Structure 1
Amino acid sequence: MRTPPELLVGTPGRYAREVFHQRHPTLIDRVAAAHPYSAAQRAALGALLDESLTGEIRPLPDDAPDLPDWAAWDRGHVGRPWADAPFLWAESYFYRRILDAVDYFRPGPWLGVDPFRPMKDAEFADPGLDGDFAWVAALGREPDAAGLATVVKAAVFGNRADISFRLQEPDGGDANAELLVDDTARLLTELAGGPGAVCLIADNGGREVMADLVLANWLLDTGLADRITLHVKPVPYYVSDATASDVDAAAARLGRPLDSRVAVRTHAFWCAPLDFGAMPADLRADLAGHRVVVAKGDLNYRRLVGDRDWDPTTPIRAAATDLGVPVVALRTCKSEVVVGLDPATVAGLDAAEPRWRVSGRHGMVQAR
């Protein structure tokens, strides 16, 4: 089977170009207003936006602590037009450059200050969260299909809460959201052989990581898992992506301390601009030590199957990276990359809803 081309930033009429030309200007305005940044920091944010819209990709400064990583991840894109870069690579590098613009890595008052923290805190402060998670109190402790379906669907559609997505699609993810693929039964089969370790690769903080913790707690409470490894980002990324501090905040908001059987880990690769085919050996070995890996969110889906112009009827096993362990992707559709659908479903969606791939109305529980 021919591997399709990567999605590029500058292709007219495609979602990647919308993200750079519609979402990113709003995002930069929000970041600039989030903290009392200096004139130089605000100018750096503005210059990054201008560069990303019309210019060539500039390198990181020589004192960047992760310069060796980015030198290895470059793939020849630095120095070329942003419009010619792969969407997955360019979007990741854009967020890394935001951290540089606001002095996140530089000694001084802004060292380690999350530029997206006020937006994240606002989500945790939402009084509606109490009602949104009231159902958790009624969860049973039997390892049955109905309970798993409840916590899995909550984890899928918690992904709609992505802050960066709502900057562009404020009405995305309505109450009529539906699953286009539902392999929850396959996940139960992978878990049913007795307690084992489950890996959860987190995506967003806020509501989503709260739902992820509900899923993790339920797996532990029912005995379907005896350990959970929760992988998060090492630094602030994609506005709302979960870091270790976001997990702590989510556990506090749920009113249940983080279970001692949940290990929170991170790895530099989670902020790499590459798909999972480039995963380093140490991280691949870590994941392979689990009974099943649950990959959360749209970005992890893009990295699992490759951010390419796939025909949506392509079988997932033909597209997804083999990580040496069963993988189940839980994602809300918020980008053009989709695989594993039947032709009739695709035809119906194309006719009824032209933006079905990016609207946030549809989800997938998809096993590789």
Structure 2
Amino acid sequence: MLLSNIWCMRLFCRSFAYLTIKDRLPQILTKAIDSLHRHKNEFFEKYGEEGMEAEKKAISLLSKLRNELQTDKPVTPLVEKYIDTDIWNQYLEYQQSLISESDGKARWFYSPWLFVECYMYRRIHDAIIQSPPIDYFDVFKESKGQNFFESQESAVILCTHLQQLKSRVGHLSREQLRSEFFRLLQISLWGNKCDLSLSGGETSAQKSNLINSLDDLKPFILVNDMERLWSLLCKEEEKASAVRVAIVLDNSGFELVTDLILADFLLSSKLATEVHFYGKIIPWFVSDTTIHDFNWLIKQVKRSDHKWMSRCGGDWKNYVKMGRWVYVDHMFWTLPHEFSAMSQVAPDLYAELQKAHLILFKGDLNYRKLTGDRKWEFTVPFHQALNGFHPAPLCSIRTLKAEIQVGLQPGQGEQLAAADPSWLTMGKYGIFQSDGLL
């Protein structure tokens, strides 16, 4: 049963959504402003007074945005012309049409959570592109880089494991291959804990050996469709000469390392012949992956002093060069629409996803958009919550960081809530939840 659209924050003043808008988003905006401040000398060295004025303008626009948010001002149309500006403003008009308040204006605390959270990040980009010549600047770049470097010891362990695994992959039995596949899937899942939007931009590094933690973490996997993923890929491998796996990325930094390690294994084990990565076209939700982040991370891994990590970077660069790894960005990923609208709003992207034999959706934001960010009953089937979105067999790989979860057993959600009231929002629990897999 569908209870309601999630969330009109004024009606849920104790909800995670409300606290996100009230506390976490202003904190993220403050850090974005601080990032511009810290780079003012760089802007001056590159562009002189023009760079200084651009920095001041961007800061002014972000400060204005923070004030609008904190004082619950009306949500205003985007100003600067960009490829998605008209679509965004049309969506804003749609939201306005749903408002029953006297002035008929969408406001920060009177609007659906997914909409206003996406809107804030799009307004950040609006502020930057209104401020040439620094209109290229990523206010989250430092945070993303810090996450990677602070997690480097853990990344080295994973790269070493991968290279050792690849050296013997041709001699593994089918059962051993299955076990390694499950291991790397779980590493990719728990890599999703490293989310800078959840931490408000504070450091969210992985500093422990994730491989050694997998057995302890297994009880926290609430929905586990790994066996279905394995069966699907085995069948596709047998019947098709080319098998494409699509990974809709979430966070850069350590999580991206775990995703690339999984993707490398898919090729090395011949479970897939090509992997297409889908990322954001602009900086998004602090740590989401852009093409710059994707290329930068591969370059950093290749430059590593550690031989196995460097070997990984060299392999990954070659996969891109050979076209076995393809990075694709599209404006749809940074629109406020749920994924069930993709076939109408972005039919080209939907058609591209239909070419995949399997789509892996990483992270919490993708899950919210898959399910329409609605407050579903916990037992509602995942297929129902997708609301007709099914370009290909798909699976959500996510640690829970928002008040939404479907496809649980009767009573499971209530038992979790009784034992741990914050079970939905702290990234402690994870899922492999599939649709269209036998």
Query: Please, what TM-score do these two structures have when normalized by structure 1?
Result: 0.92
**Counterpart in 1 of 2:285?**
238
Give, in whole Å, the separation in 1 of the partners of 2:15 and 2:3. 19
Matched, 1:77 2:95: yes
Task: Note closer, same or farther for the CA distance 1:12–1:190 as it changes in structure 2 (3 Å cut).
Answer: same
Residue 65 of structure 2: aligned partner: 48
Paired position in structure 2 for 1:87: 113
Amino acid at match of 2:63: G
Write out aligned runs for 1:105-144 (5 A). 105-106=129-130, 108-126=132-150, 127-133=152-158, 134-140=160-166, 141=169, 142=172, 144=177
Q: 1:281 to 1:130 in 2, by over 3 A?
A: closer
Correspondence for 1:336 among 403, 409, 413 = 403
User: 1:184 offset after TM fit, Å?
Assistant: 0.4
Which position in structure 1 is the counterpart of 2:246? Answer: 199
Q: 1:297 aligns with which of 350, 363, 372?
A: 363
AA of the residue aligned to 2:9: V
| Correspondence for 2:258 | 211
Contact 2:201 2:286 in 1 (8 A): no
- Asked whether the equivalents of residues 77 and 89 of structure 2 are also in contact (C-alpha less than 8 Å), the reply is no
CA positional deviation for 1:131: 4.6
Equivalent residue letter for 2:189: V
The separation in 1 between residues aligned to 2:135 and 2:352, in whole angstroms, is: 30
Cα deviation 1:190-240 (Å, max 9, x = unaligned): 111215111111011111111111111100000000111111101111110
Amino acid at match of 1:86: P
Partner of 1:14: 15
1:240-264 Cα shifts (integer Å, max 9, x gaps): 0001111112223253233130010
Do the aligned residues in 1 keep the contact of 2:372 with 2:386 (CA within 8 Å)? yes
SS at match of 2:95: coil
Aligned counterpart, 1:156? 189
Separation of aligned partners in 2, 1:73 and 1:330: 28
Q: For 1:161, what is the secondary structure of its paired residue?
A: coil
1:184 and 2:226 aligned: yes
Structure 2 residue ranges without an equivalent (≥5): 41-54, 97-104, 302-308
User: Which structure has greater helix proportion?
Assistant: 2
Q: Distance in 1 between matches of 2:157 and 2:118?
A: 31
Q: Is the 8 A contact 2:155 2:257 kept in 1?
A: no
Q: Greater shift after overlay, 72-81 or 165-174?
A: 165-174
Match of 2:306 in 1: none
How many residue pairs get matched? 366
3-state SS in 1 of match to 2:94: coil
Residue 363 of structure 1 aligns to which amino acid in structure 2? Answer: G
Question: 1:168 deviation in Å?
Answer: 8.1
Q: Secondary structure at the match of 1:343?
A: coil
Identify which range, 169-178 or 349-358, moves more after superposition.
Answer: 169-178
- Whether the 8 Å CA contact 1:284–1:323 is kept in 2: the answer is no
Q: Between 251-260 and 217-226, report the one with greater CA deviation.
A: 251-260
* Conserved? CA contact 2:147–2:203, under 8 Å: no
Change (3 A) 1:298 1:239: same
The verdict on how the C-alpha distance between 1:348 and 1:294 changes in structure 2, with shifts beyond 3 A counting, is same
Provide Cα deviations, 1:318-347, integer angstroms capped at 9, x if missing partner: 112432311111001000110011123223
- 8 Å CA contact 1:57, 1:77 repeated in 2: no
Question: Structure 1 residues 358 and 2, CA, compared in 2 at 3 Å: closer, same or farther?
Answer: closer
Q: Could you list the per-position Cα deviations for residues 64-83 of structure 1 after superposition, in whole angstroms to 9, with x for gaps in the alignment?
A: 45322213332533642111
**Paired AA for residue 182 in structure 1:** N
Q: 1: CA distance between counterparts of 2:95 and 2:399?
A: 29
Contact 2:246 2:276 in 1 (8 A): yes
In structure 2, relative to structure 1, the CA distance for the partners of 1:110 and 1:9 (3 Å cut) is: farther
**Percent identity over paired residues:** 28
* Residue in 1 that maps onto 2:45: none
Q: Contact 1:213 / 1:251 at 8 angstroms: preserved in 2?
A: no
2:270 to 209, 223, 240: 223
Conserved? CA contact 2:375–2:404, under 8 Å: yes
SS in 1 for 2:192: helix
> Is 1:172–1:361's contact at 8 Å kept on the other side of the alignment?
no
CA distance in 2, matches of 1:209, 1:159: 9
Q: Paired residue for 2:415? A: 348
CA distance in 2, matches of 1:344, 1:168: 35
Deviations 1:286-305 (CA, angstroms, capped at 9, x unpaired): 11111111111100011111
Considering only aligned residues, what root-mean-square deviation do their CA atoms show, in Å? 2.3
Deviations 1:117-155 (A, max 9, x none): 111111222243445524333435256221111111111
| SS of equivalent residue, structure 2 residue 4 | coil
- What is the distance in 1 between the residues matched to 2:27 and 2:426? 18
Q: Secondary structure at the match of 2:405?
A: coil
Q: Matched residue of 1:185: which SS?
A: helix
- Structure 1 counterpart SS, 2:370: helix
Residue 193 of structure 2 aligns to which amino acid in structure 1? Answer: R
The answer as to whether partners of 1:166 and 1:172 remain within 8 angstroms in 2 is no
| Matched-pair contact (CA < 8 Å) for 1:172–1:360 | no
SS in 2 for 1:225: coil
Alpha carbons of structure 1 residues 169 and 240: separation in structure 2 relative to 1, 3 Å: closer
Pick closer, same or farther for the CA change 1:168–1:267 going to 2, 3 Å.
closer
Maintained 8 Å contact 1:99/1:115: no
